[in-house]
Amino acid sequence: MIRSLLLLLLLFPTGCEKAVADRSPAQLAARVNGAEISIREVRNAAPGSLAQALEKVIDRELLVQKALAAKLDRDPQVMQAVEHARRQLLAQAYLERAASAAAGSTRDEVRAFYAENPALFAERRIYRLRELVVSAPVEMIDVLRAEAAKARDLEAVAAWLRSRNAKYSVDALTQPAEQLPLSFLPQLARMKPGEIAVFATPLGASVIQLVHYEEAPLSEQQAAALIEQFLAGRKRLETAAAEVKRLREVATIEYVGEFKRSN
């Protein structure tokens, strides 16, 4: 636990440094054993009030000073972890810079996305659902789907799962369409209250019974900011993937040892 904490402290430097003669006191928030904490660092440290953020930075600086005094920065495992984090941050910074230019969305793109996703916008609903979150192998999903189609209610499906010693949990939720998986929406939009549907998930299945829904449409103007945010994120991911692909195509990559690949 202590090693993990120290590792985190070393991976994210505090920015504190020994007092500099020409630094204006107006730029400082505190000094910790002579090491300076700038106001800018406090503002970037964590959400919440500046006073709370400052105390967290002071705590971290005290621990870092002790870690350095104990020469933990020379520990081979710590050095390896710091180097790994440095390279991860550099790679991420490059991708973010490469993707930032492509992040904007045109009005036509926003309009097209609005039209292509009526369940999220023009026909948006707020759903009240009951759900069984089931841990199950892929081959069980079709059998579960057939059983759910015959069931009168969710309790019958739960009883069937118990008879097969399947692991599941029960949940009740009220959520707008945008907070549900996109793959669920087309079928949910066709369902009537009381009906049950089974959706495959990475860990098994989600058995959902629609209890109630209410119409809550969003106009294109109301949805524009949300759509722009989504499209910008998608473009960043697409640009990042394209840039990695381009770099691989022009690089010389040689696999060696057990990773050597045959032609």
Give 59-120 as a DSSP string: HHHHHHHHHHHTTGGG-HHHHHHHHHHHHHHHHHHHHHHHHHTT----HHHHHHHHHH-TTT
β-pair partners for 214 = 126
Q: Assess contact for 261 and 255: CB atoms under 8 A.
A: yes
Does residue 212 have a pLDDT over 90? yes
Query: Cβ–Cβ contacts within 10 Å for residue 32, how many?
Result: 17
Residue identified by tokens 């621990």 is: 63
Radius of gyration of the chain measured on its C-alpha atoms: 27
What is the sign, positive or negative, of the torsion defined by CA atoms of 148, 152, 155, 161?
negative
Backbone φ, ψ for residue 216 (5° rounding): -145, 65
pLDDT in tens, 231-257: 988 888 898 899 999 999 999 999 998
pLDDT value at residue 162? 93
**pLDDT at residue 18 is higher than 60:** no
pLDDT band at residue 25 using 50, 70 and 90 as cut-offs? low
Cα distance between residue 253 and residue 198, in whole Å: 45
The reported pLDDT for the residue numbered 24 is: 64
Per DSSP, the residues of 249-263 read HHS-----GGG----
Average model confidence (pLDDT) across the chain: 86
CB 236 within 8 A of CB 103: yes
Q: Residue 99: what pLDDT?
A: 78
**Tokens representing residue 193 in the block:** 């209250």
Residue of 51, 199, 73 lying closest to 132 (CA atoms): 199
